[in-house]
A and B are shown apart, each in its own frame.
Chain A
Amino acid sequence: MTTIDATSPFAPPAGDPPVNYLTATRGLRSWLFTIDHKRIAVMYLVSILTAFLLGGIFALLVRTELWTPGRTIVDADRYNQFFTLHGAIMIFLVLIPGTPAALGNFVLPIMLGAKDLAFPRLNLLSYYLWVAGAVLAVVAIALGSVDTGWTFYVPYSTTTSMGGVVPILTGVLMLGFSSIFTGLNFIVTIHKLRPPGMGWFRMPLLLWSLYATAIMQILATPVLAITLLLLIVERLLQLGIFQPGLGGDPLLYQHFFWFYSHPAVYIMILPAMGVISEIVPVFSRKHIFGYDFIAMSSIAIAMFSFFVWGHHMFVSGQSTLVATIFSLLTYSVSIPSAVKVFNWLATLRGGSISLRTPMLYALAFICLFGLGGLTGLFLGALAANVHLHGTYFIVAHFHYVMMGSALVAMLGGIHYWWPKITGRLYSERWGQLAFVFVFIGFNLTFFPQFLMGTHGMPRRYYNYPPEFQLLNQMSTVGSYLLAVGFVIMAVYLLHSVFAGRPAPANPWGGATLEWRCASPPPTHNFDSPPPVGDPYDYRDLVYNPRSAGYVSAARPAP
């Protein structure tokens, strides 16, 4: 039904199946109106990485401005817009959709041996809602921008004169629905499209984490939707629910906002943990340790995440009783995360460990999430939180868990599934080089910020007391190293698409079902559903040096 375009960079080498999902149909319309989950995932990936570039530019502008205490390159209002847009773009356009949309969409159906998600057209709608959100963010920038911080606290957000507030709130509303529909799709797919033989406890752990994430997306995001809707109406029509001058309660806004935004951070980290649970066993060639516990910990994190939102509000004036309860519950959510870290370490023990680029990112995740998660313990302790809230300690903490963990895992996943998605291998050496820049740059950027915070520098500060300058400069240098790492990464990844070595079906020796189909897969994924086995049993995969990939071998008789 299709012609093969031999000149396309995605055309498979001779011997492979004649067409794959990239070459099956041509033309812009075949992409814009596709219902193939793999094409939608690729569109998400390109779009999300573009948004990451934009958010990253704002980050560099922020860090450049902070090179000196007073004005360095821009005035205060402009600076306030930069950090607001950086935060909003990174959270809503990059990290929340991130792994589920760009990677999960691609991998989830194939891991289930299915031909697509349960609702392919809803999937495309999710993507277009993302695009609408992104367009509205750009419109917001053009219409006078936003300076409220990504948290939009009332009454500042209802009274600021900047013109971009309502557009960006509407954009985030669109993004919320994109997230809800993706979650809905994943839940039904996992419930209804599992193959015979794949009970819940035979699913790859990535699917457990995507499932738990989807539950959170369904339950938490609508609360964000109503909050944003009320905020828009409050600002446009002066409704009077949140503004004290009209009889409203600004703290009610905070409760609503954080009721979503706390689970949101777990929406960002759980899929990332799922990716790590896939990469670590493959690159140790050893069965994941504690499968049941890792799976259950994902569900536990999803549940507990709904009970802790008040820890963002310990100094807001909420009652001591309520603060105490939230502090206690906050600690409960740290335990399942710790369980995962220990299980990953136990997986490494006695394995056959290969330090390819995906594994480098996975190992970095374990360190950086270890640090980021541990710093959360400081913030859960009421007495310490009073001193640390609203300071750079918080900024450092969330960058360690959002960037150093969630984003790093997404990068690891991108490198892990790159051969499957594009059919090409990138240069391992350049991958390792970029990793070094990213790892060192990241730590240099954010570790000094812990010190800045404990010594009393508040966040969202354009102008800071001069004794913080040295630490700020270290942080700025680090951010430029990070930028270099990402530029290198962009170059070698793009290069691989056009001139990389063709990838075998299973370059890393994974045992999950996506490694059984060709790289890249055909549009319908599998001709017939593959047999389901243990997703972490690597014993009958042998390395074939000629194709530089792994193939299934019959298990020798015991």
Chain B
Amino acid sequence: MNALLPNLLAQATSLPSIAPEGGSAWMPPQASGHAAEVDAVFYFIYWVSVFFFVLIVALMVYFVLRYRRRVEGELPRLHSSHSLALEVTWTIIPLILVIVMFYVGFRGFMDLANPPGQAMDIYVTGQKWLWTFKYPNGHDDTELHVPIDTPVRLILASNDVIHSFYIPAFRIKKDAVPGRYNKMWFRPTRTGEYLALCSEFCGTQHSDMRARVVVHEPGLYEKWLTDVSDPFKTHTPAEVGALLVSRRCSGCHTVDGRAHVGPTFRGIFGHEVGIKGQPSVIVDENYIRESILTPSAKIVAGFENVMPTFKGQLKDQEITAIIEYLKTLSKSPEERSP
């Protein structure tokens, strides 16, 4: 079945189409050096399967029509009920075919298992419900950026339950298991933006646990890394804070006044909030810092104790930046800087 029909239907119903340019009928675009081999394995098995499926259905339909019973009680014409030659044939031929399938699958897998020596290491940590990436220069980010045509080795870890890191366009996937490191590698071959998803059920927001993957033109990756490693060089603390909040906190906190998994940040700084089981507090710099490092210390009334700690993940400078940003969300429009 070709993706053409879904595309036509998509156009007719004004829904987004599943097959963007660059993909094939069954597969997304090939964006890693490994993808072509995986697709080859897939399509080999696909065409063998199509052949046998058509054969089985065609034979079945033919026999049913040709040998249809016309009168109840009618006995059949043929009486054969065994044939060693047939049994051997339809055992040996499938056996040969599946051995070939095993072999091509195995070869592709071995490529995936053995990174070349010069791979760049990026540490990937999964936790509910966020992927973070640590780059060789120590920078932590929630997006995966890589330079084109460079082997990249991902070292996967988990802070809580089993997650699985999956990039369909690269045809790679590996579980992130707490208590161990799993590794995989790839070589991106196509610039652009792709999606990484969690593919092992991990709770409420499992289906939102995605990350943006960006493959850069030569030279642009280094530039991005430098810029993003020290945003304080080019931005005010409040701007950096805004960036951090949108990247690290927006899964659970909004800035527009809606309560979500956690309280909204709009207007919260300087306000008094009720605390579960304790006297209420005014939200000041100390409270925000405490909430980031030891979130379970004071839970705002009406919310659950689900916030993970960011100890070790946010530097002091970054916490200050977040505080500055939150201050701006409490100012009236005139007070905020243009």
What residues of chain A have their CB less than 8 Å away from a CB belonging to chain B? 76-77, 80, 147-149, 153-156, 159-160, 244-245, 248-251, 284-293, 314-317, 320, 323-324, 327-328, 331, 334-335, 338-339, 341-343, 345-355, 363, 366-367, 370-371, 374-375, 377-378, 380-387, 389-391, 447-448, 451-452, 454-456, 458-471, 473, 509, 536, 538-539, 542-543, 545, 550
**Residues of chain B within 8 A of A460, CB atoms compared:** 201, 206-207
Q: Would you call A470 and B105 a contact (CB within 8 A)?
A: no
Complex: A409 Cα to B111 Cα, angstroms: 41
Q: Would you call B113 and A350 a contact (CB within 8 A)?
A: no
0/1 interface trace, chain B 100-126, chain A, CB 8 Å (1 if under): 011011111111110000000000000
Q: Would you call B38 and A451 a contact (CB within 8 A)?
A: no
**Residues of chain B within 8 A of A456, CB atoms compared:** 28, 166, 168-169, 195, 197
* Smallest Cβ-Cβ distance to A329: which chain B residue: B102
Q: Would you call A384 and B105 a contact (CB within 8 A)?
A: yes
Query: What's the least CB distance linking B20 to chain A, in Å?
Result: 8
- Tell me, yes or no, whether B82 is within 8 Å of chain A by CB: yes
What residues of chain B have their CB less than 8 Å away from a CB belonging to chain A? 1, 3, 6, 9-10, 13, 15-20, 23, 26-28, 37-38, 41-42, 45-46, 48-49, 52-53, 56-57, 59-60, 63-64, 67-69, 72-83, 86-87, 90-91, 94-95, 98-99, 101-102, 104-113, 160-162, 164, 166, 168-169, 171-175, 177-180, 182, 195, 197-208
Query: What's the least CB distance linking B290 to chain A, in Å?
Result: 24
A543 interface neighbour in B19, B38, B73, B113, Cβ under 8 Å: B73
Query: What's the least CB distance linking B294 to chain A, in Å?
Result: 19
What are 28 A-B interface contacts by the 8 Å CB criterion? A147-B203, A244-B177, A248-B179, A250-B177, A286-B76, A289-B80, A314-B109, A317-B180, A331-B102, A345-B63, A351-B78, A352-B67, A366-B60, A381-B45, A382-B109, A383-B37, A383-B38, A387-B168, A391-B199, A451-B18, A454-B42, A455-B26, A455-B28, A460-B201, A467-B20, A470-B9, A538-B75, A550-B73
Complex: A386 Cα to B42 Cα, angstroms: 11
Q: Would you call B207 and A461 a contact (CB within 8 A)?
A: yes
* Smallest Cβ-Cβ distance to B59: which chain A residue: A345
Q: Would you call B95 and A458 a contact (CB within 8 A)?
A: no
* Smallest Cβ-Cβ distance to A319: which chain B residue: B113
B164 interface neighbour in A245, A315, A351, A355, Cβ under 8 Å: A315
For B3, B26, B60, B95, which residue has the most chain A Cβ atoms within 10 angstroms? B60
Complex: A347 Cα to B75 Cα, angstroms: 13
Q: Would you call A370 and B108 a contact (CB within 8 A)?
A: no
Complex: A539 Cα to B75 Cα, angstroms: 7
Complex: A449 Cα to B3 Cα, angstroms: 13
**Residues of chain A within 8 A of B110, CB atoms compared:** 320
Decide: A77 near B204, CB < 8 A? Known: A353-B67, A380-B101, A550-B73: yes
Decide: A251 near B177, CB < 8 A? Known: A156-B161, A350-B78: yes
**Residues of chain B within 8 A of A377, CB atoms compared:** 45, 48-49, 98, 101
Q: Would you call A381 and B18 a contact (CB within 8 A)?
A: no
Complex: A378 Cα to B46 Cα, angstroms: 8
Q: Would you call A451 and B1 a contact (CB within 8 A)?
A: yes
Q: Would you call A320 and B73 a contact (CB within 8 A)?
A: no
Known contacts A348-B59, A383-B108; 16 further A-B pairs (Cβ under 8 A): A245-B179, A286-B76, A290-B82, A290-B87, A320-B109, A327-B102, A339-B90, A347-B81, A350-B78, A353-B67, A370-B56, A387-B38, A462-B206, A462-B207, A467-B20, A470-B17
**Residues of chain B within 8 A of A542, CB atoms compared:** 73
Q: Would you call A289 and B101 a contact (CB within 8 A)?
A: no
Q: Would you call A341 and B56 a contact (CB within 8 A)?
A: yes
**Residues of chain A within 8 A of B174, CB atoms compared:** 315, 317
**Residues of chain A within 8 A of B86, CB atoms compared:** 290, 342, 346
Decide: A465 near B195, CB < 8 A? Known: A327-B106, A353-B68, A387-B38: yes
